[in-house]
A and B are shown apart, each in its own frame.
Chain A
Amino acid sequence: MAHMIERHRHIIDFTLATLLRRKGKNGGLLLVYTLIIFVLASVIFFTEAIKREAMLVLRDSPEIIVQRTLAGRYQTVPISWCDGIGSIRGVSSVQPRLWGYHFDRTRRANYTFMVPAQAPPQSGHVDLGSAVARIQGATAGDTIALQGHDGAPRAFTVRKVLESESQLLTADLILISERDYRDFSGLPAGQATDLVLQVRNQREYATIVEKIARMHHDARPILRSEILRTYDAVFDWRSGVMIVIFSAAALAFLIFAWDKATGLSADERTEIGILKAVGWESSDILLMKFWEGTAISLTAFMVGTILAYVHVFLTSATLFAPVLKGWSTLYPYFRLTPWLDFRQVATLFLLTVVPYTITTIVPSWRAATIDPDVVMR
């Protein structure tokens, strides 16, 4: 037993020394390998983080939303609908919501205005999402000016900058009082953007939706589950693009692994020949090759994963910006919530270290069976 351990120790020591002796070759290999892991890990972390972000967004969304359409376009909803809809059996409450988008021409950014149901700012005050605050260069107590629907600027005092678990949720948000919002956006009195319903019993959804549609032919009720589906489709398209990048990288990786693994330099052949000639067995050579692969794999895996984590969560996946243009205009600046799932890391491991190891088995075995007498010629 002690002999076995000692044997491993000797062979590992020698393997590491050998890796260092071939700095050029192994350095190049390590670099490419690390880069591939970095890209794959970034993709995995990014898609997962985005999905998680979406779950945070939707967690608090209402069960049923009622909108109004005219010629297939969204319209504002009369607040007077609340009474009728509120009297439908099973509906526990109906609330009008006031919100909308605003394009800031001077700063070329999109904001989302919203009148919060709870604790709205007083008239003349607003709360800003972190990205809006950054763009406006404003902190609590400052005054900002925004151009209203009629072209006239309006001044608001910043009450506070919002903090939130998910930045995707609040980055572009401006919270405002109802009076200011109607004045700013031109939304007429008695009208709301949409209505949100609380329903006691999930099984009644279908009946309620049907009753609303019968009550108002231009109403368009939307269930949360439908919103979830829409979001999923959007994210799936994103991950679709990612999967293409992903498979391309994986393919490159396999080709590269195969190429590197099959190529045994003349130097290496001679060295293996020497080792066998002086008394190393095939199994000793295999062990050496195994440790060589493991050392390279694990180093590349760890460095690549850590770099990807930094890239995705600390630099907001800057390198992916071109692919994700859609996101970055919709949500100009946001930071993903740091999050590490053991399953992701395991997947990454399975997708990189395992195939690499497998592709190096055959060539290692070939190296191990080099005849010792090659060195005598």
Chain B
Amino acid sequence: MISVRNVSKVFNAGRPNAVTAVGGVSLDVRMEETTLFKGPSGSGKTTLLGLIGCMARPSAGRIFLNEREITSLPERFLTDIRRATFGFIFQQFNLIKGVSALENVMLPAYPTGEKFSRLRGRAMATLAMLGLEQRAEAKIEWLSGGEAQRVAIARALINNPAVVIADEPTAHLDTKLSLEFIGIMRELKSRGTTIIIASHDPIVCDSGLAGQVVELRDGRIVAGGAAP
């Protein structure tokens, strides 16, 4: 369980252009289930995902990962947790250009110092699972949008994360590819992966994928979240 307690994130604090992106949010994300954050643009979805995924620290409040407080950990440990627990799928895919699909998938595992042949084997298996084994050696810029997204998914899965976080994953996909993405998420879910998605795309919101839907507005929860 990921427990978010009274978490706020203020950008440019103390300055005239201060923005409270997230203001005092409390919620529980249950493991092995799918949680959806929805809400209009600027409501704080991305910011909240970043806080949960240990990408940034909250300005106030605490976050617990399986009862362990993670908000105040030093960077090293935070990175370890991020790498071991979370896999990210970004809106713009954020793949590294000029590098093959395979290497992009392996990158998150480099710091772990895993033996190259083993790592390569795992990366190939992950790509194969997503139907991309033929494109493993292709450079990122040669891939179609759908292929690129699947590479991004493969990269998110390479370290066997317990939690997959996806921010607007279908924003750059057409209907067919969006449905394909939902199919992949269902597959992950059936294997017991925890999924957190931020989206206001009706295809995602109406797919019935999410067991828990949290609605945000202006950095606050307006519906769902089972906040204690």
Q: Do A and B come from one complex?
A: yes
Please pick, from A278, A282, A377, the residue contacting B155 in the complex, using a CB distance under 8 A. A278
Q: Would A279 and B83 count as touching, CB distance under 8 A?
A: yes
A200 beta carbon closer than 8 Å to chain B = no
Give the residues in chain B near A6, CB-CB below 8 Å.
Answer: 113-116
Give the residues in chain A near B50, CB-CB below 8 Å.
Answer: 373, 376
Within 8 A of A (CB), among B64-79: 75-76, 79
Q: Would A10 and B110 count as touching, CB distance under 8 A?
A: yes
Q: How large is the interface on B (under 10, 10 to 19, 20 to 34, 35 or more residues)?
A: 20 to 34
Give the residues in chain A near B37, CB-CB below 8 Å.
Answer: none
- What 0/1 readout, one digit per residue, does chain B (47-70) give for beta carbons within 8 Å of chain A? 001100001100000000000000
A368, chain B: closest CB distance, angstroms: 10
B99 beta carbon closer than 8 Å to chain A = yes
- What 0/1 readout, one digit per residue, does chain A (340-353) give for beta carbons within 8 Å of chain B? 00000000000000
Please pick, from A2, A7, A375, A377, the residue contacting B111 in the complex, using a CB distance under 8 A. A7
Q: Which of A108-116, A172-180, A211-219, A269-277 contacts B (4 or more CB under 8 A)?
A: A269-277
Give the residues in chain B near A103, CB-CB below 8 Å.
Answer: none
B170 beta carbon closer than 8 Å to chain A = no
Give the residues in chain B near A274, CB-CB below 8 Å.
Answer: 94-96
Whose C-beta in chain B lies nearest to the C-beta of A5?
A: B113
Q: Would B90 and A17 count as touching, CB distance under 8 A?
A: no
A299, chain B: closest CB distance, angstroms: 20
A229 beta carbon closer than 8 Å to chain B = no
How long is the Cα–Cα vector from A279 to B114 in the complex, in angstroms?
A: 14
Within 8 A of B (CB), among A262-309: 270-271, 273-284
Please pick, from A275, A278, A281, A282, the residue contacting B88 in the complex, using a CB distance under 8 A. A278
Give the size of the chain A interface in residues (CB under 8 angstroms): 32
Whose C-beta in chain B lies nearest to the C-beta of A280?
A: B111
B102, chain A: closest CB distance, angstroms: 12
A9 beta carbon closer than 8 Å to chain B = yes
B123, chain A: closest CB distance, angstroms: 12
The winner among B88, B113, B116, B167 for most chain A CB atoms within 10 A is B113
The winner among A274, A284, A376 for most chain B CB atoms within 10 A is A376
A270, chain B: closest CB distance, angstroms: 8
B216, chain A: closest CB distance, angstroms: 15
Give the residues in chain B near A222, CB-CB below 8 Å.
Answer: none
How long is the Cα–Cα vector from A134 to B97 in the complex, in angstroms?
A: 60
Q: Would B110 and A17 count as touching, CB distance under 8 A?
A: no
Q: Would B56 and A371 count as touching, CB distance under 8 A?
A: yes
B108 beta carbon closer than 8 Å to chain A = yes
Give the residues in chain A near B115, CB-CB below 8 Å.
Answer: 2, 6
B82 beta carbon closer than 8 Å to chain A = yes
Q: Would A372 and B55 count as touching, CB distance under 8 A?
A: yes
Q: Would B111 and A376 count as touching, CB distance under 8 A?
A: no
How long is the Cα–Cα vector from A295 to B79 in the complex, in angstroms?
A: 27
A4 beta carbon closer than 8 Å to chain B = yes
Whose C-beta in chain A lies nearest to the C-beta of B114?
A: A6
Q: Would A376 and B49 count as touching, CB distance under 8 A?
A: yes
A105 beta carbon closer than 8 Å to chain B = no
Q: Would A279 and B82 count as touching, CB distance under 8 A?
A: yes
A21 beta carbon closer than 8 Å to chain B = yes
A228, chain B: closest CB distance, angstroms: 60
How long is the Cα–Cα vector from A274 to B91 in the complex, in angstroms?
A: 12
How long is the Cα–Cα vector from A17 to B106 in the complex, in angstroms?
A: 14
How long is the Cα–Cα vector from A7 to B46 in the complex, in angstroms?
A: 31
How long is the Cα–Cα vector from A232 to B109 in the complex, in angstroms?
A: 61
B112 beta carbon closer than 8 Å to chain A = yes
B8 beta carbon closer than 8 Å to chain A = no
Whose C-beta in chain B lies nearest to the C-beta of A375?
A: B94
A3 beta carbon closer than 8 Å to chain B = yes
Tell me whether A279 and B90 are in contact in the complex, defined as CB-CB below 8 angstroms, given that A9-B116, A271-B96, A274-B96 are known contacts: no
Please pick, from B75, B107, B112, B159, the residue contacting A275 in the complex, using a CB distance under 8 A. B107
Give the residues in chain B near A284, CB-CB below 8 Å.
Answer: 110-111
B98 beta carbon closer than 8 Å to chain A = yes
A74 beta carbon closer than 8 Å to chain B = no
Please pick, from B88, B94, B116, the residue contacting A10 in the complex, using a CB distance under 8 A. B116
A11 beta carbon closer than 8 Å to chain B = yes
Tell me whether A277 and B116 are in contact in the complex, defined as CB-CB below 8 angstroms, given that A7-B110, A376-B49, A376-B90 are known contacts: no
Give the residues in chain B near A17, CB-CB below 8 Å.
Answer: 99, 103
Additional pairs, 9, CB under 8 Å, beyond known A9-B116, A274-B94: A6-B113, A10-B111, A277-B90, A278-B108, A279-B159, A280-B79, A372-B82, A376-B49, A376-B167
25 pairs from A and B in contact (CB 8 Å cutoff): A4-B113, A6-B115, A6-B116, A7-B112, A9-B116, A14-B107, A21-B99, A274-B94, A274-B96, A277-B55, A277-B90, A278-B88, A278-B108, A279-B109, A279-B111, A280-B107, A281-B79, A282-B75, A282-B79, A283-B76, A284-B111, A371-B55, A373-B55, A375-B90, A375-B94
Q: Shortest 8 CB-CB distances between A and B: which pairs?
A: A279-B83, A3-B113, A7-B113, A10-B110, A21-B98, A278-B108, A373-B55, A6-B113
Interface residues in chain B, defined as those with a beta carbon under 8 Å from any beta carbon in chain A: 46, 49-50, 55-56, 75-76, 79, 82-83, 88, 90-92, 94-99, 103, 107-116, 155, 159, 167
